[in-house]
Amino acid sequence: MPLKDDGLYRGDGVFEVIRLYAGHPFALADHLDRLQRSAASIELPVERPALEREIEVLLAEFGRDDGQLRIMITRGGRRIAVTEPLPERAETIRLATVTYAPSVILTGVKSLSYAANMQATRLAQAKGADEAVLVTPDGTVLEAPTSTVFWVSPQDVLRTPSLDSGVLQSITRARIVAELDVDEGIWPVADLRAAKEAFLASTTREVQAVSSIDGTDLPEAPGERTREATEAFGTALRRELPQ
């Protein structure tokens, strides 16, 4: 029997993943705001009050464990909310650059169409890395498939691609940028490859040190600036989560 939902057939929908700390969602309003922006960009209605009620019931049943909350809205009108265990993360991660031509029409949209992102990870793993960092055909650094990338330049400046480069408006990124002195801009891949240290940031991984980029080791992983970012994000958590 046909499912009649292009969200399932064609990835026509949007999603969010929210970290749960002892059952409390971090930055829930920010995530739902971004979900609505993503949905508006592809002309997809979102019944936010109904979704918020469903999340409240789901989290009450989930209890006070750590985990993550995944929300999906499909073109067929399905609202899907599930709790999941946190993925296991190593202390450090190896990156490989992968050429990627983003779709301008989906810039800034957290859509269900993540096949290209997942393929980028597989291409990086084929090079002996753990994860990809996406780079445009003209050599501009973007982001990792599911996280933001930061690095310390040869001039000892903490950098990350600016939002107008086409990267996702990451909520974890925003907290780190608010707490630290970060140079946001359009950066060539040569700058990333010459980094003294680097880290990824995302909802589920928080801050994760990078141990190598395209086969070049970063021996001080986690380095001083990575530890600063970890502390800065911890400050945001303590400020925003219930005590």
Across residues 149-170, what is the average pLDDT?
Answer: 96
pLDDT at 1 over 60: no
- How many CB atoms within 10 Å of residue 128? 11
CATH of domain 92-238: 3.20.10.10
Across residues 156-168, what is the average pLDDT?
Answer: 96
Across residues 136-153, what is the average pLDDT?
Answer: 97
pLDDT at 206 over 90: yes
pLDDT at residue 20, rounded to an integer: 98
Report phi then psi at 163, rounded to 5. Answer: -65, -30
Distance CA 69, CA 60 (A): 12
pLDDT tens-digit map of 108-126: 899 999 999 999 999 999 9
More confident position, 1 or 87: 87
Across residues 12-33, what is the average pLDDT?
Answer: 98
**Secondary structure element (H or E) that encloses residue 183, with its range:** strand 183-185
Q: Check if CATH label 3.90.1300.10 holds for domain 6-84.
A: no
Check if the beta carbon of residue 95 is closer than 8 Å to that of residue 198: yes
The reply to whether 92-238 shares the fold of 6-84 is: no
Closest by CA to 19, choosing from 224, 161, 202, 151, is 202
Residues linked to residue 130 through DSSP beta bridges, in sequence order: none
DSSP state of 120: H
pLDDT at residue 219, rounded to an integer: 87
- How many CB atoms within 10 Å of residue 87? 9
pLDDT at 226 over 90: yes
Domains of the chain: which residue ranges? 6-84, 92-238
